[in-house]
Amino acid sequence: MDHSVHNKKVSFIWSIADDCLRDVYVRGKYRDVILPMVVLRRLDTLLEPTKEAVLAEVKFQQVEMKSTELDDEPIIQETGYPFYNVSKWTLTSLKETATNNRQILLANFEDYLNGFSANVKEIIERFELKNKIQHMANKDVLLDVLEKLVSPYINLTPDDKEDPDGNKMPGLSNLGMGYVFEELIRKFNEENNEEAGEHFTPREVIELMTHLVFDPIQSDLPLTITCYDPACGSGGMLTEAENFILEKYPTEGVNRDIYLFGKEVNDETYAICKSDMMIKGKNPENIKVGSTLEIDEFADKRFDFCLSNPPYGKSWSTDQKYIKDGSDVIDTRFIVELKDYWGTSSSVDATPRSSDGQLLFLMEMISKMKSTTDSPLGSRIASVHNGSSLFTGDAGSGESNIRRYIIENDMLDAIVQLPNNLFYNTGITTYIWLLSNNKPAERQGKVQLIDASLLYRKLRKNLGNKNCEFAPEHIEEITQTYLDAANVERQLNDNNDPTGIAAKVFDNADFGYYKVNIERPDRRSAQFKRELIEPMRYEKSLREVMEHIYDVHGDSVYEKGYLKANEKAILSWCEDNDISLNAKAKSKLFAQDTWENGRLLVELAKQLAEVFTDEYNDFNQFKVDVEIEFKKLAPLVLEAIPQGKRKGFFTTIVNAVSWYDENAEKVIKKVVKFKQEKLDELLHHLGCDESELADFGYYAVEGKKLEFITYESNSDLRDAESVSLTYNQDKDTDNSEIHQYFLDEVKPHVDEAWINLDSTKIGYEISFNKYFYQHKALRSMDEVAADIIALEQKAEGLIADILGVDLAEVQGE
């Protein structure tokens, strides 16, 4: 389509808002009126040529056939579209017969709207068009808007026409109408400062996505194709996919059937998409409205291709109740089977954090892929994401599990990094993910990363945040780079700056890593000190509030009913001091047991302090000595503690009066005595020899066979190490990747550390910056010095000019 013609139509429609709606709606509401009216006018232009034939068919059914209900099929055959209007009105006739009586115009307009088929009525309802028509009529602008829409100087019909001055006005194709819709949406979104997730996808990005999806299998494309977009917006992705197939891969003598499916949560864009499908003769029932995450509308369907630009950085918390019950995932789309470090398979959570649901849309598309059993080609997916999908979430998290599931099942084919500021309402870095469940042999087990972030041309005028675009040659270069499936080195320009495209091919395992905790022993000193005893009176999580209460009220807090009597004053103090307490915290704060337990702990500790006055640097001996004395304490004190809780009280006390001391003795957890069979099981589990057990926290007791000491770990000294799945790839060793990493990178620096192998989780992440970073050498000292001298000389000259002094004369003096 001629862009000048396209821009003229958009400008004309845009002017309707400025000319007619300025005093009727606030600027942010213009789109709510203009978009549905443009859709209505487009449908109207398509039905105008067959209006008489439709009315004749209606008369035949009602008069000749005496039908009380109209038969849709014959009417649809007359229109040639899957919709109709059986009223006597068109928008043009409404305008031509309008009078100064607003009520007559409104009644005629409502009669016109009521004459539409059910599928158009749903669109009218989603747009809330009747309310808007009523409002415009009441404000006396409905006729003005109508006159603009049916103006002989704007052609919104599919056919070429001439204006009253004899100038040719090209027709508006279905594709052109799509451009008009989406350009209007872009302009309105820009006006309203819409969020990044609300923008539509630039056409050149869609074109690139369709090339990447279809080009590799163009010779095998079936005659019947299904395409799906779970966040279809106004349908641009689906429309372009169809146009691309029909244009690039024509079939000789045989028609290709392309079925488009989509779902959209926003009523307005859903209405635009559905009307667009009807205009093109597609089945409008294939477009659904509502949250894709809430209801699996296409649970029984599988699709050949999925293309989407789902919302990113957008919360899915409102959908969470449909996907999770507490911590349990109840929607099978978001549950995957993965193996743990030892190869045991289990169902795991594949949901990201609630603040960003973009990966859920990717999992939705994966759940709709055809198996290679049902379709020789399988399915292919292209999906746009921001950077968080590449690396957000640690090993074992929902995001990492999703990446791991995709990569380990060899579905990730390629990822293309796009230039910044390529989209209209966001300048952040974006990526196209390409997935296939039937990769060709040469790509199996591989993932290609393509950095096209430097491949663009600047726009002469910014469109929102969009200040650049892909030229056709850029799309061709990216596509060919993908098809070649080879490494491409980044080029440098004359200034030694990187330019052009770069690509690298990786093995699937290159993105995986083991996350394992490296522990160090706890070393503790202990002494009964007053400043360590007194805090035991308070719950740690409520210490600030409880300290205040005790300072104000003293031992009265231990009197039954006292706290409840003062609850209002206490909560008021909390509010004044910005302390927020949930229901559980409040319940604990005003529970008599909470205060009584704290009092008992302090009493017990004070009695023990009278016996133990010295400092211990061996916590193991300290516990033994204190436990003996603890059991001798006054019966009245111990009787106040239930038998089952006494051990807990003892543990709380000794921990409270101890602290980490790097010079103290290591704290023993337990001494383990193995039978040979159990030891063999442990060695197999850890994948090591008996002589290496210390690396995993089992220290042989000297002189005693099959007996080992384990130590308490100190959580503050714990390190979480990420070990590549391919760490041992180039090493001549029988050790596991984790063990060898420990021997190479940890043991030489921290001799007493050990591996907590049971903490191991497997994660996957993809770091474009790491893979494509290109070091730029610093300039030489001579170059820097020359620049400084040149600047200094230039500055002196400027100062001389300002002062009106001849620099040569001054220097000569």
Per-residue pLDDT band for 772 (boundaries 50, 70, 90) equals confident
Q: Once rounded to an integer, what is the mean pLDDT over residues 444-460? A: 94
pLDDT range class, residue 366, cuts 50, 70, 90:
very high
Lowest mean pLDDT among 130-144, 328-342, 745-759: 130-144
Across residues 212-224, what is the average pLDDT?
93
The pLDDT value given to residue 491: 85
Query: Is the pLDDT higher at 620 or at 775?
Result: 620
Under 8 Å between Cβ of 314 and 359? no
Q: What is the CATH number of domain 194-515?
A: 3.40.50.150
Q: What is the mean pLDDT of residues 396-421?
A: 96
Q: Is the pLDDT of residue 498 over 80?
A: yes
Task: Provide the pLDDT for residue 98.
Answer: 84
Q: Hey, CA dihedral for 794, 796, 802, 808, is it positive or negative?
A: negative
Q: Name the strand (E) or helix (H) holding 385.
A: strand 380-386
Q: Is the pLDDT of residue 30 over 60?
A: yes
Q: Tell me the pLDDT band of 548, cut-offs 50, 70 and 90.
A: very high
Q: Provide the pLDDT for residue 751.
A: 94
579 vs 571: CA distance, rounded Å:
9
What's residue 809's pLDDT?
60
Handedness of CA 732, 737, 738, 744 (dihedral sign): positive
> Is the C-alpha dihedral spanning 176, 180, 185, 190 positive or negative?
positive
Q: Is 468 helix (H, G, I), strand (E, B) or coil?
A: strand
Q: What mean pLDDT comes out for the span 614-637? A: 88
| SS3 readout for 329-361 | ECCHHHEEEEECCCCCEEEEECCCCCCCCHHHH
Res. 583 pLDDT band, cuts 50 70 90: very high
What would the pLDDT profile of 226-260 be if each residue is shown by its tens digit?
Answer: 999 999 988 888 988 898 898 888 888 788 899 99
With a pLDDT cut of 70, the percent of the chain lying above it is 93
Q: Tell me: the pLDDT tens digits for 651-704? A: 999 999 999 999 999 999 999 999 999 999 999 999 999 999 999 999 999 989
Q: How high is the mean pLDDT of the chain?
A: 89
> CA distances (Å), 541 to each of 62, 537, 584, in order?
77, 12, 11
Per-residue pLDDT band for 636 (boundaries 50, 70, 90) equals low
**pLDDT value for 19:** 85
Which pair of structure tokens corresponds to residue 564? 């409840």
| pLDDT of res. 251 | 85
Element (H, E) at 479: helix 472-484
pLDDT band at 197 (very low <50, low <70, confident <90, very high): very low
Q: Name the pTM for this structure.
A: 0.84
Instruction: Give the lowest-confidence range in 212-216, 459-463, 478-482, 767-771.
Output: 459-463
Model pLDDT, residue 798: 67
Residue 9 has which token pair?
Answer: 């139509």
Q: Tell me, what's the pLDDT at 361?
A: 97
**Distance (Å, whole) CA 180 – CA 14:** 10
Q: How confident is the model at residue 811 (pLDDT cuts 50, 70, 90)?
A: low
Q: Are strands 699-700 and 707-711 parallel, antiparallel or unpaired?
A: antiparallel
| Torsion over CA: 176, 182, 186, 187 (sign) | positive
What's the distance, CA 197 to chain centroid? Answer: 10
Model pLDDT, residue 347: 96
> pLDDT digit string (tens) for 275-318?
888 877 788 899 999 999 999 999 999 999 999 999 888 899 99
pLDDT band at 808 (very low <50, low <70, confident <90, very high): low
Contact 450, 501 (CB under 8 A): yes
Banded pLDDT at 7 (limits 50, 70, 90): confident
Residue 131 main-chain phi, psi, to 5 deg: -65, -40
Q: 720-736 pLDDT, tens per residue?
A: 999 999 998 888 888 99
* Residue position matching structure tokens 């009669």: 111
- Which pLDDT score, from 0 to 100, does residue 1 have? 44
Residue 482: burial class (beta carbons within 10 Å; 0-12, 13-18, 19+)? buried
- Domains of the chain by residue range: 3-190, 194-515, 524-660, 778-812
Residue 593 has pLDDT above 70, yes or no: yes
Q: Report d(CA 343, CA 325) in Å as an integer.
A: 28
Q: Based on the number of CB atoms within 10 Å of its own CB, is 337 exposed (0-12), middle (13-18) or buried (19 or more)? A: exposed
Task: Tell whether the model's pLDDT for residue 521 goes beyond 50.
Answer: yes
- How many CB atoms lie under 10 A from the CB of residue 782? 8
> What value does the mean pLDDT take over residues 41-47?
91
